[in-house]
Amino acid sequence: MFVDIAKIKIKAGDGGDGAVAFHREKYVASGGPDGGDGGRGGNIVFVADDSLSTLADFRYKRKYTAENGQNGRGAHCNGKKGQDLVIRVPRGTVIREVQSGAVLADMSTDEPFIAAKGGKGGFGNRHFATPTRQTPRFAKSGAPGESWEVSLELKLIADVGLLGFPNVGKSSLLSVVSEAKPIIGDYHFTTITPVLGVVRMGEGQSFVMADIPGLIEGAAEGVGLGHAFLRHVERCRMLVHLVDVAGSEGRDPIEDFEKINEELRKFNPELSECPQIVAGNKIDLAEDEQRERFKAYIEKQGLPYFEIVAPIRYGTQELINAVAAKLATLPPVKRYEPEEIPMELLEKDKKNGFTVTVRDGVYIVEAEWLYKILLKTDMDDYESLQYFQTVLQTSGILDALREKGIQEGDTVSIYDFEFDYVP
């Protein structure tokens, strides 16, 4: 089954806890604290895999969790890092954060993408030894791993999208100009999944053409198969619009052409601006008057036009030559740029609360939602730091610190970030 959209939950590993330990050895007096740090949690990593063509695997498994980091131990032994969890997806998959809709990554290259970072391991008690605190009896807990709900949307990477009503000959055209072997039949919706074909123009020259399953009127609203597969047209650098000039199924070719373009506009207005070449198919079945009428109409639109009979390859080479020439003038296949998740969205879990504990004069604040904001805060940027301080105030954390008796100059520790309190 062809599945091109899925929704999953991902959770990176939590960091291991730091250890509270003291050096014990014969003839070594006052060995001091030697608790090791916790290991970092494993990341959730997405990788593009060309051997995959659908997102079907994600229909059966919807939760993915990476390994936690191990806790630290005595004798300065740090915990082992949690293993990363690698999730393989088809090339062309766009990953979005569900609530904001922000694009996290476009898996169109070979570069892995870390979607959720593992939590840092907590410091062992050896980090907290000072001249006035020589036997710290506390350590830090590991930071939580990031967790997100993400949507996966496969948008095929093709240079050319082949469009047209059902049974106009798209599969036949693709089969004679490329290495693809689509199902060909004299009935509607023979093609029920997008089919990619590599069109070779000579040594070192080729492009990818996608046969998009038949669109019909109302596709943008979900009628027929069109709504499910229109997303695969969005990356295409140009479109080849195939029309049955003979009107062999009782439809008017001009109306067919206009209806398909209207569906493109409804689904995504940018698609109406995509360069098009029109191919009039089945001219062997058409009257001369039909051929001339349609040709005159397309030329009036200012679009290139070619007449073909796909099954016998009549006119197909001229069409493909024109497509290759046009592609040479166009920018590369569209890529979706990553977007920032709004900081306000990260505050939505403030209702889950926080904890403030005091250990040997250090005020330790813990809250998973706050850690997400901390990761995205640039402490060297004034506005970013001001925003973080505002979050501490509006969430009630500063009030809680005051209730615990914090004084000017006391240390506040929020995971791996520490600062001196200033009222």
Same domain, 105 and 218: no
User: Which comes out higher in pLDDT, residue 241 or 264?
Assistant: 241
Specify whether 220 is located in the same domain as 315: yes
Cα within 13 Å of Cα(376), Cβ side: 16
Q: Half-sphere exposure (CA, 13 Å, Cβ side) for 57?
A: 9
CATH code of residue 122:
2.70.210.12
Q: Are residues 3 and 144 in the same domain?
A: yes
Tell me, yes or no, whether 364 lies in a domain: yes
Looking at the structure, tell me whether residues 317 and 178 fall in a common domain: yes
CA 416, CA 140: separation in Å to the nearest integer?
9
- Asked whether residue 334 is domain-assigned, the answer is no
Q: Is residue 128 part of a domain?
A: yes
Q: Which of 155, 178, 199 is the last residue of a domain?
A: 155
- 276 and 384 co-located in one domain: no
pLDDT at 227: 54
Has residue 335 been placed in a domain?
A: no
Structural domain count, the chain: 3
Residue 338 included in any domain? no
Instruction: Assess whether 318 and 169 both reside in one domain.
Output: yes
User: Do 144 and 284 have their domain in common?
Assistant: no
The distance of Cα 115 from the centroid of its chain, to the nearest Å, equals: 9
Q: Is the pLDDT of residue 276 over 60?
A: yes
pLDDT at 1: 44
pTM: predicted TM-score of the whole model, two decimal places: 0.76
Let me know if residue 333 belongs to a domain: no
The answer as to whether 337 is a domain residue is no
Question: Of 137, 155, 173, which marks where a domain is finished?
Answer: 155
Q: Are residues 48 and 91 in the same domain?
A: yes
Q: For all residues of the chain together, what is the average pLDDT?
A: 85
Of 70 and 133, which is predicted with more confidence? 70
The domain of 41 spans 1-155
Instruction: Looking at the structure, tell me whether residues 109 and 242 fall in a common domain.
Output: no
- Most confident range (mean pLDDT) of 269-278, 290-299, 372-381 is 290-299
Q: Are residues 83 and 142 in the same domain?
A: yes
Residue 183 has pLDDT above 60, yes or no: no
Which pLDDT score is estimated for 158? 85
pLDDT band at 229 (very low <50, low <70, confident <90, very high): low
We report the CATH number of the domain holding residue 308 as 3.40.50.300
Pick the last residue of a domain from 327, 351, 383.
Answer: 327
Across the strands, what pairs with 28? Answer: 25
Report the CATH number that the domain containing residue 421 is assigned in CATH. Answer: 3.30.300.350
pLDDT value for 29: 59
10 shares a domain with 108: yes
Question: Is there a single domain that holds both residue 7 and residue 105?
Answer: yes
pLDDT band at 374 (very low <50, low <70, confident <90, very high): confident
In a domain, 45, yes or no: yes
